[in-house]
Amino acid sequence: MALVLLASIAQAEMSFMQWKQDFKKEAVSSGIDSSLFDQTFKDITPDPVVIKLDTSQPEFTRNIWDYIDNATSEKRIKRGQRLLQKYRVLFDKLEDQYGVQREIIVAIWAMESDFGRNYGSKNVIRSLAALAHHARSEKREKFAKQELLAALHVIQDNKFSVGSLIGSWAGAMGQPQFMPSSYLKYAVDYNNDGQKNIWETESDVFASIANFLKKSGWRELEDWGTEVILPRDFDWKLNSSRYELRFVQWRSMGVTNASGQSFSQPQRLASVFIPAGRFGPAFLVTHNFNVIKKYNKSLSYALAVAQLSRLFAGGEGIRIGWPRTDKALSTEQIKVIQTLLNEKNHNSGIVDGKIGSKTREAVRTWQLENGFAGDGYINLDLLKEILTKSN
């Protein structure tokens, strides 16, 4: 048994050595110095922890309310408010330059690295090399290679030392958790010390986050949205991120601010977002909410950042209760839903057990076609209905 294991390890190392030689040709052709490549990869071996994390999937998904509860804890809110006060002069300058609200910047900082206290301890080069070499699909291999090339350019163009790129197992770097390609596009040397230091320099961290959002289309002075109450006769066909109306138009259709107040930006365009079905909270979200999704495409993440920013500013929490009696679906159950929807020509995207915008839109379309409220909510009841109508 021991001999078989040793042989397997030796084969894997030989495979990686061959992959490394092939990848070096790509790197050099993209402008990476040959000696820098050799120096960087000198002691690099595949990280088994990275490979395990990449190939494992959680047995169950996480309900959005659990995610939001954790993201917007009282402890996190208080710490964020203290840090906003500590860096208030810096944020005054950043808001003037980038037009991004300070609370949004700090909310992303909190979500990505717990205010800079935990941004990973992995060698990014080693992690990305493992992900590229052991990729589960051609698409994932291409992505990992692109990011690995970008990481090499980060080292070469910024004269970083080998091994200085530290981050998560997936290759996200520093306090803002930028992938290497994002670092090249958005990182800022705000204190003008010659380094875009997103690992240790807070001014660089904040400016880099702000620059990412600004270049992704952030609109100055626009709020991300607000919680609303939908009328009983709400037209569920309007529940789509592709369907936008002005706040004043939504109001004319019976959609009201959950706070009871008038909408603060009545002429802004917004779409309906219902994260947990018609019995949970509903929101009207603006263009800026979608910009947050460019930082991380998860709807739960975007709402957590948005709501956390509001709480930092002293705003109220979400008023309408979540359907907390609903249990989280397993990854396999979600795959069943995605498979059945795809079979019925409702494009739910890749069958991966993850609930994204495509899957939610496919569910919404199926619900409307079958006489249900098109809230796009995925739970056990939905799975039973789809299975029943598929038999």
The pLDDT tens digits of the residues spanning 72-100 come to 999 999 999 999 999 999 999 999 999 99
Residue 271 lies in a domain: no
Q: Please say whether the beta carbons of 350 and 138 come within 8 A.
A: no
- Residue-wise pLDDT for 233-262, tens only, equals 999 999 988 899 999 999 999 999 999 999
Give the pLDDT of residue 162: 75
Residue 128 lies in a domain: yes
d(CA 212, CA 295): 8
User: In this structure, are 46 and 186 located in the same domain?
Assistant: yes
* Overall domain count for the chain: 2
User: In this structure, are 204 and 340 located in the same domain?
Assistant: no
Residue 65 lies in a domain: no
Residue ending a domain, choose from 215, 233, 264: 215
314 vs 11, higher pLDDT:
314
Helix axes 124-133, 2-29, angle to 10 degrees: 100
DSSP 192-260: -SS---TTT-HHHHHHHHHHHHHHTTPPTT---EEEEE--TT--GGG-STT--EEHHHHHHTT-EETTS
Residue 308 lies in a domain: no
Average pLDDT value for residue range 40-47? 91
Q: Please say whether the beta carbons of 46 and 129 come within 8 A.
A: yes
Average pLDDT value for residue range 253-282? 96
Give the pLDDT of residue 2: 46
Note the Cα 262 to chain centre separation in Å: 31
**Residue given tokens 């495509």 in the structure block:** 358
Give the pLDDT of residue 136: 81
Query: Is the pLDDT score of 201 beyond 70?
Result: yes
Give the pLDDT of residue 55: 82
User: In this structure, are 182 and 35 located in the same domain?
Assistant: yes
Band (13; pLDDT cuts 50, 70, 90): low
Give the pLDDT of residue 61: 79
Residue 291 lies in a domain: no
Task: State pTM to two decimals.
Answer: 0.93
d(CA 333, CA 357): 17
If phi over 0 gives left and psi between -120 and 50 gives alpha, with beta otherwise, what is residue 197?
Answer: beta
Give the pLDDT of residue 73: 97
DSSP 301-317: HHHHHHHHHHHHTT---
56 vs 321, higher pLDDT:
321
User: In this structure, are 342 and 200 located in the same domain?
Assistant: no
Average pLDDT value for residue range 265-270? 96
Residue 53 lies in a domain: yes
Share of the chain above pLDDT 90, in %: 86
3-state secondary structure of 265: coil
Average pLDDT, the chain: 93
Calculate ∠ Cα 143-149-154, nearest 5°: 125
The first and second tokens of residue 168, run together, are 């998560």
d(CA 33, CA 38): 9
Band (163; pLDDT cuts 50, 70, 90): confident
Residue 257 lies in a domain: no
Spell out the alpha helix ranges (H) of the chain: 2-29, 34-41, 48-55, 64-71, 74-86, 88-98, 102-113, 124-133, 138-158, 180-186, 202-215, 247-252, 287-295, 299-312, 331-343, 357-369, 380-390
The CATH number that applies at residue 49 is 1.10.8.350
d(CA 39, CA 24): 12
Give the pLDDT of residue 14: 56
Q: Please say whether the beta carbons of 180 and 198 come within 8 A.
A: no
Give the pLDDT of residue 205: 98
Residue ending a domain, choose from 215, 240, 255: 215
Query: Is the pLDDT score of 11 beyond 50?
Result: no
Q: Please say whether the beta carbons of 365 and 237 come within 8 A.
A: no
Give the pLDDT of residue 10: 42
Please name every residue paired with 2 in a beta bridge, in sequence order, or none if there are none.
Answer: none
- For 35, the domain range is 18-57+119-215
Residue 64 lies in a domain: no
Give the pLDDT of residue 161: 82
d(CA 372, CA 369): 8
Give the pLDDT of residue 305: 98
Residue ending a domain, choose from 190, 215, 240: 215
Give the pLDDT of residue 7: 37
